[in-house]
Amino acid sequence: MNSTVRLDNWGIAHVESTNAIAAFEAQGWIAASDRIWQMDSDRLKALGRWSEIVGPKALKEDAFFRRLGLAHVAQADWASLSPQSREMTECYAKGVNRWLEEHSNDLPAEYAHHPASPEPWQPWHCVAVYKLRHIFMGTLHRKLWRGYLLAKTGPDVVAAMKGDPNQASAITRGNGPHLDLLRGLSSLLNSQSELLKALIDIDGGSNSWAVHGSRTVKGKPLLAGDPHRGIEFPNVYHQFHMECPEFNVIGLAFPGVPGFPHFGHNDEVAWCITHGMADDTDVFIETESLEAIEWNSELVRVRGHEDVEVFCGSTDRGPVVIGDPADGMALSVAWTGLIGQDTTFEALQPMLTASTCEELENSVRPWVVPVNNLLTADRSGNISFKIRGRVLERPTSNRWTPVPGNAEHAWSGIEPVPFEELPGLRNPDRGFLVTANNRISDTEPYISLDFAGPARYDRIVELLEELPNASGEDMKRIHGDVLSLKAPPIVQLLTSRATRFMHPRGKWLVDSLSTWDFQVTEDSVEALLFAVIRRRWCESVGERLGVSTAQFGAPSWPSPEAASRMLFEAATTLLFDEAWKCIPGLETDDDLDGALSACIDETLNELELRLGESPSEWSWGQLHRMASPHPLASALEEARHLHPPLDSCPGDGDTVRCGAVIPETGERAAAASVARYVFDLADWDSSGWVVPHGVSGVRESGHDMDQRSKWLDCELLPMTFTKASVLSATQKQFDL
């Protein structure tokens, strides 16, 4: 027996092992015990085999991943890893397979709907599932969307939607033929509407902040935050703790991946990340080189149907993912996790043994995907920020839309920005660091066009500035903050401009918004009114530009859900600095006033139909309900019982406590905090964490939903770390 496992009150495993090899094997065993179905489904999707389980619904998704060659790339990247990194994944896989052998007759309920039991885990599968979880966090959908806008409306609208009219000439400089190519994509993408819908990945943003000991009650740093993603079941992160002579680390792991890539701490240093929003993907319109492609055939097995042949090929720029020679046009893709060797896994074990902020930052030099805003804090009192990941600076035209497939736009010969030149900052004078997917700087190197707005970042800064002696309880209050800094200028504009053309009953709505405290709480009627008006304005802009939701499916540039999110952001930008004048039919102030008044009337009509005629009974929580879809339950009717229940929740996409929506699907909360954490470097046992459901992905296990009420109340569970606290919290113990 090389490892002792202790399960605490919440079913979270604390593993004590004789060495690192045993620790990684134990991590694999525990991950399989809690999340084998999730690991298996991610693996099948990455390998382009999801159709084997759910049938034709997954065929286009499988074809995409086959053509992308994700499995082959993952195998090649794994084979190029150092012996130590490969050994780490081998030990992890050994633990997974041990669990499978021991529990072949005791698999989770999902396998009642599978045609076969899970296959053995191979070490390179760790790389494959990691890539799967990050490939759509880049700019693929945004570039497809802007390509559609450019072809449909022209460069002035595209530039205005980014808030920078001066960029209009840069978007199309020398790209007359480029516009013709974009317009020609319509029929190709229309045929792929179901594929583009399947590939949406909801990334709602994230928050993180580090407070220097000079501003804390205990005199040591506090590190806190919460990642925002689509809320699904099982949860994307897995709480785990492993100790051996080489390291002692607790944190949030990815099921199927060893170590703690994003969030954790050891005895001396803590780390966390937010999405860096980097432009890591280019889309190429291939026309001239299609005949030169050597196409290989792969068979996709489809449950209940005949096998389907998929043709896969690549150009000099990357794999072709949509189209073929018969179409006369195709799209190829370059992503930093596909082009060039991905050495991210080389960082995973060195991170565990770092003892200072500087050592932790040096350990992530090999990091490739995704680009992250990394915050660290150490017991010596330092706090630090550093961008980690592969940043490539390409031609300016590549930043906006799909580009012609030629040597001018290819990545050949482009070297990554050196690690030393990536932005970083340590121990700032103001005593804290904050990241919230916001723009870090306007200087070189170029990171992206696409960052989150400043609302969440500015609000966290406001709250921290008020805390000269911050505590862990203060960090929890920041987690739960739902004051919107996005709302005031929009409400001010509405209440000052929309009254002249408004229906008389709209006066109640305007008066309500005029006195709103901008708290996006569940019981707030004003938060509800604000949200629906914004969506109505978004729909109005789409209709006027000819890119309304009715047309998203033909062509799907990209899916209706993804497009509605991007139009939602852009339409809000167009409200200010007279950018709205680029919208057809809105040429004068009277035009805008009338359009906003119409949105108010439409909001009232809609809410009366949905919630009844009595506004006193309306509230944000009635419509803003968090769905946590189970992927198998969404695909198979007979598995619908695996879906968790719906719950109302506060916040929206611009508040610190996230509750982001997809306008295409209404006010349902689609993205939120998939974890919350506070690392207290003065006393590790005073740290806390919580996830939306529970540590287990096994329905009815007892630990699949036991954190739900804590998460809804924005409370934290104890993150027990020291030996004494672990022993005190132990509810069950066994050896591996």
Task: Tally Cβ neighbours within 10 Å of residue 203.
Answer: 22
Cβ proximity of 177 and 241 under 8 Å: no
The full 3-state SS of 424-436, as one line of letters, equals: EEECCCCCEEEEC
The full 3-state SS of 293-346, as one line of letters, equals: CCCEEEEECCCCCCCEEEEECECCCCEEEEEEHHHCEEEEEEECCCCCCCCHHH
- For the record, the structure tokens of 529 come out as 């009114």
Among all chains, which residue has been given the structure tokens 């580009």? 403
Q: Which of 594, 534, 592, 591 is CA-nearest to residue 564?
A: 534
- For the record, the structure tokens of 709 come out as 């009420």
- Residue 257, Cβ density class (10 Å: 0-12 exposed, 13-18 middle, ≥19 buried): buried
- For the record, the structure tokens of 30 come out as 């525990």
Cβ proximity of 211 and 461 under 8 Å: no
* Distance separating alpha carbons of residues 545 and 395, to the nearest angstrom: 28
Torsions phi, psi for 283 (to 5 deg): -115, 130
Q: Which of 347, 206, 376 is CA-nearest to residue 277?
A: 206
Cβ proximity of 173 and 403 under 8 Å: no
Helix (H) or strand (E) holding 282: strand 281-286
CA 693 to chain CA centroid, Å, is 18
- Residue 80, Cβ density class (10 Å: 0-12 exposed, 13-18 middle, ≥19 buried): middle
Among all chains, which residue has been given the structure tokens 């940043």? 391
* Distance separating alpha carbons of residues 11 and 14, to the nearest angstrom: 9
Q: Which of 690, 655, 689, 652 is CA-nearest to residue 671?
A: 652
Exactly one of 85, 206, 628, 696 is catalytic; which is it?
A: 206
User: C-alpha distances in angstroms, 214 versus 108, 572, 677?
Assistant: 49, 39, 21
214 annotated active-site: no
Cβ proximity of 235 and 692 under 8 Å: yes
Q: How many distinct helices (H) and strands (E) make up the chain?
A: 26, 26
Eight-state DSSP code of residue 519: B
Q: Is there a cis peptide before residue 558, judged by omega within 30 degrees of 0?
A: yes
Q: Which of 271, 231, 487, 522 is CA-nearest to residue 378?
A: 271
Buried b (16+ CB within 10 A) or exposed e, 135-147: bbbbbbbbbbbbb
Q: Which of 39, 38, 44, 37 is CA-nearest to residue 61?
A: 44
Cβ proximity of 589 and 609 under 8 Å: no
User: C-alpha distances in angstroms, 304 versus 63, 66, 109, 151, 639?
Assistant: 17, 20, 21, 40, 17
Cβ proximity of 610 and 623 under 8 Å: yes
- For the record, the structure tokens of 503 come out as 């229906």
Q: Which runs of consecutive H residues, i.e. helices, occur in 342-471?
A: 348-353, 357-363, 455-465
Torsions phi, psi for 337 (to 5 deg): -85, -5
Cβ proximity of 376 and 384 under 8 Å: yes
- Residues carrying an active site annotation: 206
